[in-house]
Structure 1
Amino acid sequence: MMSDWLHNLPVPLMAIAIFAFTYLLAIIIFASVSALATGERAKSFQAISPGMLPVLGILFGLFVAFTAAQVWSDSDRGSAAVSREASALRAVVLLAAGLPPEQESRLRDLIRDYVEQTATVEWPMMARQTASLRSAPIALAEALQFVVSMTPQNPGQQTAQREIISALGSALDARRQRIIVSQAEVNSVKWWSLYLQAICELLVIAVVHCGNRLASGIAMGLFATGVATSVLLIAAHDRPFTGQISIGPEPLLQIMPGKSAS
């Protein structure tokens, strides 16, 4: 239901679109019930128990909580994966100091190339949900192969080699988790269910208060505002790596080593 163009809007424009759509639904329901609430139909409408309002409101709140729980979980997993990846790469850079200068320089350059590629190419792909796990990152794969092929000259270098291989493996695993999370989003069934429940609540508000249009309009306006606010909060965080409020590559950029002198 939530399309790519909406997710990529700045938050103020996203808010305008969501509030406009929600208010439009409320206005259509209000106008339809007002037009139908005449004669015997009005008496039938007013016979509907107001006790349905809190029940439907609670159900809508549960729908929001159920949907939001997924969004917060995806966001936390994405942030944790990026932080773990940055920590692993930082460990590689620090451990490289225990290697001979030529090997340290080569390893630092590969890590830098990987971070640059990730920030400039892979991150936009994750924002579009087109990043794939089919191929390993070239620079990181080369770094792993390079470290594995080294011949340590002393116990210190052996330890450094072993720890670097472990850290590179952790970075690859964190990248895999990051890309998996980038595919996550609230599916259309949840969005339709959320709005259908909101429509039911708006309809009952309009029917119960059909004898007093001002009260009906105020109550529906307040509830529609709550619905739009909830949807905006969820939509703005729906895709962890998409939109104005998204997880960025800053943790990786902060640990990027300097380019070695040629």
Structure 2
Amino acid sequence: MFDFPLDHFVYGIPAIMLAVAGAMTCQFLVKRLLGAETIKQCHEVGGYYLSIVGALYAVLLGLVVFDALGKFQDAEKTVELEGKSALAVSAIAKQFPKSDARIQTLVKRYLDQVIDVEWQMMARNGASMEARQALVDLVREILVIEPQTENQKALFPTLSAETMTLWEKRRDRVKLSNYGLPTPEWVVLLGGAAITIVFTFFFTIDSGPIHLFMTGLVTLIISMSLYLALLFGAPFSGDLRVSKDGLIATRKSCGQLSQRVNVAKTPRPS
């Protein structure tokens, strides 16, 4: 919706300050054009209207922010479970020597693509086809495994389940990266904010600076709430985003696991 990245603080914070300054300027102009006496005549009726509009908008804005925060938390949990499943697949694959090398290669390829390529693409609502293909190849590799020992037969269902979980969590992560707030919702939110702030213009007190300060505070709290909805609504873009540190740690753990297993299998010199 925006032509410049408001979800970066360097743009978002000045935008909030600009909104506050704009509201205070409009308050000053309205009071100067209408006069204090005319505005005072609106106090009683305006107070009733503002209580209705303010209550409705507060409920709407609170629900939107709460929903956006929930989506952000879901994204964090999804990434955590995705890394957990990738590590589980890598660890369990050690019990299947014939397929182990291929599985390790595919898991590493998948994590490399997600961390180094797809993470940046998700900021633009994109996804890596290479990462998807690596996961498809991993699923195919798992499906052709034929357990031989009793240990392998016991572990194979878990290996299959963790692979499917990895697929599901990647799908959920990509879906969440495309979440955001739809344009009609932003229109309603911004329109409601403007109407609520405009209603405050039809009240006045004798001290002009204090009145402007109060109007600025109302605009500030509304602007910050809208900014939270923007930040949480896009979990994988901007300065407030879901961290990929969990997946980086998973990639490191998979590599360390492979190294330990290789060392353990190296024959000792006689």
Q: What is the TM-score with the length of structure 1 in the denominator?
A: 0.85
Which residue does 2:266 correspond to in 1? none
Equivalences for 1:153-192 in 2 at 5 Å?
A: 153-192=148-187
Find 2:221's aligned residue among 217, 223, 226.
226
1:15 aligns with 2:13: yes
Would you say the 8 A contact 2:79–2:173 is kept in 1? yes
Would you say the 8 A contact 1:99–1:160 is kept in 2? no
Amino acid at match of 1:16: P
User: Once structures 1 and 2 are overlaid, which stretch shifts more, 90-99 or 114-123?
Assistant: 90-99
1:72 aligns with 2:57: no
Amino acid at match of 1:64: L
Equivalences for 1:1-262 in 2 at 5 Å?
A: 1-3=1-3, 5-7=5-7, 9=8, 11-20=9-18, 22-38=19-35, 41-42=38-39, 44-46=41-43, 48-100=45-97, 102-131=98-127, 137-209=132-204, 213-256=208-251, 257-258=254-255
RMSD of equivalent CA atoms: 2.7
Would you say the 8 A contact 1:34–1:210 is kept in 2? no
CA distance in 2, matches of 1:193, 1:104: 54
- Identity, % of aligned pairs? 21
The answer for unaligned runs of 5 or more in structure 1 is none
SS of structure 2 residue aligned to 1:6: coil
C-alpha change, 1:105 and 1:4, in structure 2 (3 Å) is farther
SS of structure 2 residue aligned to 1:152: coil
| CA positional deviation for 1:44 | 4.6
CA distance in 2, matches of 1:32, 1:188: 31
Alignment: residue pair count: 257
Q: What is the TM-score with the length of structure 2 in the denominator?
A: 0.83
Higher normalized helix content (fraction of residues): 2
Would you say the 8 A contact 1:42–1:210 is kept in 2? no
C-alpha change, 1:209 and 1:112, in structure 2 (3 Å) is same
C-alpha change, 1:211 and 1:203, in structure 2 (3 Å) is farther
The answer for unaligned runs of 5 or more in structure 2 is 263-270
Structure with the larger RCO, 1 or 2 (CA within 8 Å, 6+ apart): 1
User: Once structures 1 and 2 are overlaid, which stretch shifts more, 151-160 or 220-229?
Assistant: 151-160
Q: Deviations over 1:68-109 (max 9, x none)?
A: 122012112212221221121121112112112x53222112
SS of structure 2 residue aligned to 1:124: helix
CA distance in 1, matches of 2:89, 2:13: 43
C-alpha change, 1:52 and 1:149, in structure 2 (3 Å) is same
